[in-house]
Structures are given as structure tokens and as C-alpha cells.
Amino acid sequence: MLNAILLLLSCQLAGEVISQYFSIPVPGPVVGMALLLVVFHFVPAVGDMVRETSNTILRNLSLLFVPAGVGVMLHVSTVFDEWLAILVSLVLGTVMTLTATALTIKYVSRLMISRAKGRL
């Protein structure tokens, strides 16, 4: 487990350094994730080492959002003043994003299947 944590932290640290050094818009942890994928590709055995710890973290992922969520306390006035704009944006935006993503995948898949059949 310690090895896994060390690997995750090292990837994040390296990602952070790369993100800052090259001042790229991608945040450090995301660069770290890409780095870990590269590590998996070249040293597949590493996957077994981090799998258990990673799955434990990901299974409890929602817990990690709680401290940020409690931050709503800091923005009571903004949320109060602009509640309608925020509510509409959150609710309709979520519905639109979900629908757009799912239907795009569905119809592009269907298009590819019918094309593949046409070729036969």
C-alpha cells in the first residue's frame, strides 16, 4: 500500500512540476494521471501494485468532495444574489450535457455499425 501511495504522490508531484514549469493549462494531477498511464504502458506489473489502493480511493471518491461542498458557506451572498442564474445553469446545463453526450455516442455508434454493414 505504501508503494502505491508513493507512486500516486510521485506522479502527482511530477505532474505538478511539469504543469508549472511549462505553464500549461492542464492541472498537475491530470498530468500525473497521464504519466501513470505511460508508466503502466511500459511497466505493466506496476498496475497490480497500485490497483488495490487506487480502487479503495476511487470507491470512496464522493467523500473527498465534502470539504469543497461545505465551502458553500463562503458564497452564501453570491448564491443568494444570483440564485436564479445559478439554478437554471446547473439544472438545464446538466440535462443538456448528459443528453448531448449520450445521444452523440449512441448515434455515432449506430452510424459506424450501419457503415460497417454497408461495406459487407
Partner 1 sequence: MSPARLADIWVYLSASPLLHLTMTVAAYVFGDWLYRRSANNALLNPVLIAVVVLVAILVATRTPYQTYFEGAQFVHFFLGPATVALAVPLYSNFARLRQMWVPLSAGLLVGAMTAALSAILLAWVFGASHQTLLALAPKSVTAPVAMGITEKLGGPASLTAILVVSTGILGAVFGPTILDWCRVTDPATRGFAIGTTSHGIGTARAFQESELAGAFSGLAMGMNTLVSSLLIPPLLRVIGVVSQ
Residues found near partner 1 in the complex (CB under 8 A): 5, 8-9, 11-12, 15, 25-30, 32-34, 36-37, 40, 47, 50-51, 53-55, 57-59, 61-75, 78-79, 82, 84-86, 88-106, 108-109, 112
**Closest approach of partner 1 to the CB of residue 49, in Å:** 10
Rounded CA-CA distance 4/7 in Å is: 5
Q: Which residues contact 8 (CB under 8 A, 6 or more apart)?
A: 32, 36, 50, 53, 54
The answer to whether residues 36 and 18 touch, using CB atoms and an 8 Å cutoff, is no
Pick between residue 17 and residue 93 the one whose CB is nearest to partner 1.
93
DSSP state letter for 74? G
Pick between residue 79 and residue 120 the one whose CB is nearest to partner 1.
79
